[in-house]
Amino acid sequence: MEQARAGEFDEFVAARWPALLPLARLLVGGDPHRAEDLVQDSLVKLWFAWPRVGDEAPEAYVRKVMVRAAARSGLRRWWGERPVERLPEVTMAGDVSADVVERDRLEAALAQLSPKQRVAVVLRYYQDLPERQVAEVLGCPVGTARSHAARGVARLRRLLVDVVEPAR
Q: What is the mean pLDDT of each run of 10 residues along the chain (168 residues)?
A: 72 87 84 86 88 83 86 58 60 71 87 90 88 89 93 91 49
Q: Do both 3 and 63 map to the same domain?
A: yes
Q: Taking the model in full, what pTM does it have?
A: 0.52
Both 137 and 103 in one domain: the answer is yes
User: How many structural domains are present in the chain?
Assistant: 2
Q: What CA–CA distance (Å, rounded) separates 54 from 100?
A: 36
83 within domain boundaries = no
Residue 92 covered by a domain: no
Distance CA 116, CA 148 (A): 7
Q: Are 131 and 146 in contact (CB under 8 A)?
A: yes
Greatest pairwise CA separation for the chain in angstroms: 74
Quick check: is 24 in a domain?
yes
| Structural domain that includes position 13 | 1-75
